[in-house]
Structure 1
Amino acid sequence: MSETKAPEETRVVAPVDPTRRTEIDKQRVPMSARPYRLLAMVKQDAVVRVQKEPDDTVMTWPHLLSIEFLAAAVMSIFLLMMGLFINAPLEELANGNVTPAVAKAPWYFLGLQELLAYFHPSVAGVLVPTFAIVGMMIVPYVDRRDIHATRPSQRKTAVVLFSLFLGLALTLTFLGIFFRGPGYSFVIPYLPFFENSTNGLHFAL
C-alpha cells in the first residue's frame, strides 16, 4: 500500500516593477554619491574586565589629617587665649545648708530657662520641649508633599515655619545670655564685656 504525499505549496513572488518608486526610495541617496563617510573605532576589551576606580580621590594622610590637625591646633590656641584673657572665676565650694541664687543654665538651655520666666514650670519645662521634640520627629511622616522639591522656593511654607521656630529659639537664647543678671533679673548689658561686674554682662560658658 503506497503512501500518498501531500502536494507542496508553491509560492509565487510577483515581479517588482522597476519604474515604481516610493517616496522613501526617492529620498535615498546612494553611498557612492554621499560626500561623507561614517567611521567608528572599537576598542578591544580584555577578557577579564577590571573596574576602574575614580581618579579624583586622594589619600587620607596627609591631605585630610593635616587639615584636621591644623584646625585642632587653631581651636586649642583660641580656647587658651579665652582662658587667659576672659575673667571667669570659680565660685566657692557647694554648701548644702545654703540655697544659692538662681544660676544660669548653659547657653543651649537658656531658651528654656527664659521660658520659665514667663510660663509655669510644667509648661516651659515639660510640655514645650516634649512638643518640640515629638513634632520634629513626626514632621518627615506628616509632610509628604513636594518630596521632589530641591529648592527653598518650592517649599515656602516649611521654610517660613522653621524660620519662625529658629528665630524664636535664638531670641530667647540671646535674651538669656545678654539681658539676665544675678538672680536671673533683667539687666542692660554695657562695656567692658569681659569683666565680672554685678551690673554688666552675665553669661555662662
Structure 2
Amino acid sequence: MSDERRDGDQRVGAPLPVDSSRRTEIDKQRVPMAARPYRLLALVKQDAVVRVQKEPDDTVMTWPHLLTIEFLAAVAMSIFLLLLGLFINAPLEELANPNVTPAVAKAPWYFLGLQELLAYFHPTVAGALTPIGVLVGSALIPYLDRRNVHSTRPSDRKLEVTLFSILWALGLAVTFIGIFFRGPGYSFILPWSNGFFFSL
C-alpha cells in the first residue's frame, strides 16, 4: 500500500500543471530528471581545450621486419665463411713437437691481457683476484649510483660510464701491450725495431 495521500485525482506533493498558454521558454525546455541521459557539470571554453596531435608512428614490428633482415644477414655470413674456408687454407703450423719449445709462447689474444698481468703481479692476483674483481665490479656499477636508474642518457649516468670506461681502457691497454710489445721469451720489445711476434 502506498504511503502517498491522494486528494481526488491529484497526488499530494506533485507539481501543479502549468497552463499551456502561460508556459514560458524555460518551462518548455524543462525535462524531467528521469528522462535526462546526462547532466551538465560545467561549460568549457573552446580555447581551454588542449588538442593533442598524434605524431606519425615510424615504428615497425619485430616480426617480420627485423627478424627477416637478421636471418638473411646470418645466412649471408654463413655462406661467406663457408666459401672462405673452402678456398683459403688456414694458417696452421706444423705438428706440435714436445721436444721443441716455440720461441714465442703467447696465449690467444683474448687471454693476452691476463698473461700481461702475470708479468707484473703474483699469479693469485693476476689470474684470480683481478678477473673476479673486474667481473664483480662491472656487475655492481649500476648499483653505485641510484639517482637516475631509469635514464638511458649517458650524461645522466656519469659515474657508471666513467668507471666502465676506465675498466675497458685498462683491459684494452694490457691486451694491446701483450700483442705488440712482447717477443721471444715474453720479453718487452719494440715492434718497429724487433719485428712483430703475434699470430692468431
- After TM superposition, the score normalised by the length of structure 2 is 0.60
Aligned partner of 2:130: which letter? V
Aligned mates of 1:113, 1:104 — CA distance in 2:
8
Q: Are the counterparts in 1 of residues 109 and 179 from structure 2 also a CA contact under 8 Å?
A: yes
Q: Is 1:89 aligned to residue 84 of structure 2?
A: no
Aligned pair partner of 1:10 in 13, 21, 24: 13
SS class of match (2:169): helix
SS class of match (2:189): coil
User: Relative to structure 1, is the Cα distance of residues 178 and 83 closer, same or farther in structure 2, using a 3 angstrom cutoff?
Assistant: farther
Identify the residue that residue 64 of structure 2 maps to in structure 1: 57
RMSD: 4.1
User: Relative to structure 1, is the Cα distance of residues 100 and 77 closer, same or farther in structure 2, using a 3 angstrom cutoff?
Assistant: same
Aligned mates of 1:116, 1:74 — CA distance in 2:
38
Structure 1 residues 3-152: aligned runs within 5 Å: 7=5, 10-12=13-15, 57=64, 65-77=71-83, 83=89, 89-90=93-94, 92-95=96-99, 103-152=105-154
Aligned mates of 1:60, 1:136 — CA distance in 2:
30
Q: Are the counterparts in 2 of residues 105 and 204 from structure 1 also a CA contact under 8 Å?
A: no
Identity %: 43
User: Relative to structure 1, is the Cα distance of residues 16 and 202 closer, same or farther in structure 2, using a 3 angstrom cutoff?
Assistant: farther
Aligned partner of 1:202: which letter? F
Identify the residue that residue 173 of structure 1 maps to in structure 2: 175
Identify the residue that residue 52 of structure 2 maps to in structure 1: none
Deviation at 1:139, TM superposition (A): 3.5
SS class of match (1:94): coil
Deviation at 1:152, TM superposition (A): 1.3
Deviation at 1:183, TM superposition (A): 0.7
Where structure 2 has 5 or more consecutive residues not aligned to the other structure, the ranges are 6-10, 27-41, 46-60
Aligned partner of 2:135: which letter? I
Q: Deviations over 1:98-151 (max 9, x none)?
A: 877672111111111111111122211111111112223334455433122121
Identify the residue that residue 185 of structure 1 maps to in structure 2: 187
Structure ranking higher in helix proportion:
2
